[in-house]
Amino acid sequence: MKRRVVSLFSGAGGMDFGSHAAGFNTVMALDNFAASTETFKQHFPETDVITQDIYTFNSSKKNPYPSAEVLTGGYPCQSFSMGGLRDPANDDRSNLFLGFADAVNKIKPRVFIAENVSGLAKLQNGEWFKKQLHVYTHELGVKYRVYWKTLNAADYGVPQMRKRVIIVGVRSDVDGDFEFPEQTHTKSEWAKKKKLLPYTSHGEAIKHLPPHPSGEYYERPHDPEGNFSWYFMSRNRRHRWDKPAFTVVANFRHVTLHPASPVMELEWSNLADGWKQKWRFTDEYDHLEFGAAFPRLDPPRRLSWREAAAIQTFPAHFNPTGDLAKKFEQIGNAVPPLLMQKIMEQVKILL
């Protein structure tokens, strides 16, 4: 019998694709973003999917949740993200974890798993992170042993450098300690020495997809600045074919470049004056050393949504609903399914 999962802030189902791959079953999913819940319904037709904010749902009745052994949730992270305003005190999303904690009290799962950006543990000397840990360890109606760790998805075979804080609570009557999955991948130059696999190449992960997927990536038509704004060109947006990708982001304007685009080089830098830089494209295409069959992308382009989904390790049949911006928002906000699978396999040992 498969263990039951309730998924909050479920998005397009990144955590749930991973949970199902590990042998669990999501019985209920909740999110306030209609495009995400529509995507979820299409890929998990047997799950009860609800479009509503968590506070309204929690107050709808004494206990609106089904029974479940596991509760998961990746509550919004924009107020803690390096790419956001980083002003959690003035952002209502900063306290959404309290809605998650209320759900823990109502469901009383044997295990809960919360995910957030790595900046959560660092921002304002970690005060917001400590606040969350205090609630989970001291203010719940049932006692939980709480474990946390910052994981890099690339360390587990995901073709992307993506660091996230994972918080795991184990109900006090459950025997055994939770152990985070052991690292399986590392930098290629360290792999043999550490007896690990080299990081997964994001070029290899997407080379089967078409080189010119019209309508699947963001462009700036008829803009005098060209296809890439000054802000986009203020940093290196391209990683090598044979390396993991940079973090897949939720904003389709800032998604990084396909590795078959030309190499970028630093034109000038003035970091002392507001972190200003300017990068430019060269005539070099170093992907040909690793993916010679893939054509040179001239002009260069951003990753397509299908490529971003593959880098996130969504299954090949994954197709998010909505326009291009909403597709990228769902993909970029997701927990990589492969990373979640590794975590849930460790949870399975306890259950």
127-141 pLDDT, tens digit each: 778 889 999 999 999
- List pLDDT tens digits, range 104-155: 999 999 999 999 987 765 655 667 788 899 999 999 999 999 999 999 999 9
Domains and CATH numbers, the chain: 3-185+331-350 (3.40.50.150)
Q: Is residue 6 annotated as a catalytic residue, yes or no?
A: no
Point out the least confidently predicted range of 61-65, 86-90, 170-174, 223-227. Answer: 86-90
For 109, phi then psi, to 5°, come to -65, 160
Residue-level pLDDT at 121: 57
Proportion of the chain above pLDDT 70, given as a percent: 93
What is the band of 83 on the pLDDT scale with cuts at 50, 70, 90?
very low
Q: Does residue 317 register a pLDDT over 90?
A: yes
**Is pLDDT of 163 > 70?**
yes
Catalytic one of 8, 22, 49, 77: 77
